Amino acid sequence: MMEVRHLADSYAKEYDKHVTHVIQSWGWGNFRKKIGTSLGRYGMFENGKLVKAFMVTFHQIPGTPYYIGYLAKGPVPDTDLANALESIGRKNHCVYIKTEPHITTRDAGEKGLIIDPRFRQSANEYFTKHNFVIDLTKPMVEIQKGFNEQTRRNVKKAQEYEQAGSLKIEEHIDDKAFEIYLKLYFETTKRQKYHGHNPLYHRLAWETMRSTNMARLLIASTQNRPLAAWMLYNFNDTLYYPYGGSSPDNPELRASNLVALKAIELGKKLGLKNFDMWGALGADAKEDHPWFGFHRFKRGYGGKLEEYIGTYDLVIPSLINSLLYPIHNLIDQTPWIKFPALKLAELRRKWIKP
């Protein structure tokens, strides 16, 4: 049986070798601490050797002494992990721990992964189940051949404007550029009517990840007017595109299309293997879905549409937890307007989301 240990800072480098997503990284954990999130980093040891690592965040259920644990983009939910999380959950007064493994259905099938029956499939997903991932090990010419016809046209048009000097893309790691990004990001959330983390969240994420050379910005501009800005993270062998913003001005320049191309080129320059586009709809995406525009844009770059194995809840064994879990699960699945005193939609964003 594996031994589970809470890891001290001295394990930071070794820990990062065992996790497979940037939001499980030691640096991301440092950022989460800065915004006040309670968390623990754990290692599973076999014969004294670290063989698995993961981070769990803990979120108190308001008005109670109980917590929900969340393990985002972690390892396989097997028997070893179930045993570890039960121990961790008891020590941290958790009703249950929600885990969303960074495991694709393809990998699960090929490797014959077995999920421990203590993990219950959950309908309450916090991280998108699908994602586009571009293989950066391919030659650039081959990657571009994978673009769909509309994206190829848009990229070509943007490149023509770039060559003519009308459009410029620059990489930045300075705070002035971050302020440009932040302005465009919140203009976009307002225009597209979707929820975004507050400015402090973005600022602390930027400062923390940049300090370890894991964050950079790509900004597109015309005549010194910014048109699009992407924040990119790099961790281990992957480049991530979690956040971006754009202006509605000069749509004919196709600024965002060129930023995407430059991001792919940047990933190759950094010697990375994958470009993770941070979420998508499924293969049967409908055009009336509010996220369809983002999905269509990302789809155009020819990445593989990956599906992850889903979301699982592990209830920490106790009589009180067996009663609290279905109650909380029912509330969590119900639109918050039916429970105005709880404001669950806001609380979910505050507690859980990466």
pLDDT of residue 334: 67
Q: What is 3-127+309-351's CATH superfamily?
A: Gcn5-related N-acetyltransferase (GNAT) (3.40.630.30)
Question: What confidence tens digit (pLDDT) does each residue in 124-160 have?
Answer: 888 899 999 999 999 999 999 999 999 999 999 999 9
- The answer on pLDDT for 210 being more than 60 is yes
Question: What confidence tens digit (pLDDT) does each residue in 180-190 have?
Answer: 999 999 999 99
- The answer on pLDDT for 211 being more than 90 is yes
Q: Which residue has the higher pLDDT, 40 or 353?
A: 40
For a pLDDT cut of 70, what percent of the chain falls above it? 94
The mean pLDDT of 69-87, rounded to a whole number, is: 97
Options 3.40.1350.10, 3.40.50.300, 3.40.630.30, 1.10.4160.10; CATH for 131-306 is: 3.40.630.30
pLDDT of residue 351: 41
Residue with tokens 């070794």: 14
pLDDT band at residue 354, thresholds of 50, 70 and 90?
A: low
pLDDT of residue 340: 38
pLDDT of residue 234: 98
- The CATH 3.40.630.30 domain(s) of the chain lie at 3-127+309-351, 131-306
Please provide the average confidence, as pLDDT, over all residues in the chain: 93
pLDDT of residue 343: 34
Question: What confidence tens digit (pLDDT) does each residue in 304-347 have?
Answer: 999 999 999 999 999 999 999 998 887 777 654 344 333 334 44
The mean pLDDT of 292-298, rounded to a whole number, is: 96
pLDDT of residue 327: 87
Question: What confidence tens digit (pLDDT) does each residue in 243-283 have?
Answer: 999 999 999 999 999 999 999 999 999 999 999 999 999 99
pLDDT of residue 194: 84
pLDDT of residue 310: 96
Q: Which residue has the higher pLDDT, 97 or 349?
A: 97
- The answer on pLDDT for 47 being more than 60 is yes
pLDDT of residue 332: 73
Residue 226 CA to its chain's centroid (Å): 25
The mean pLDDT of 222-248, rounded to a whole number, is: 97
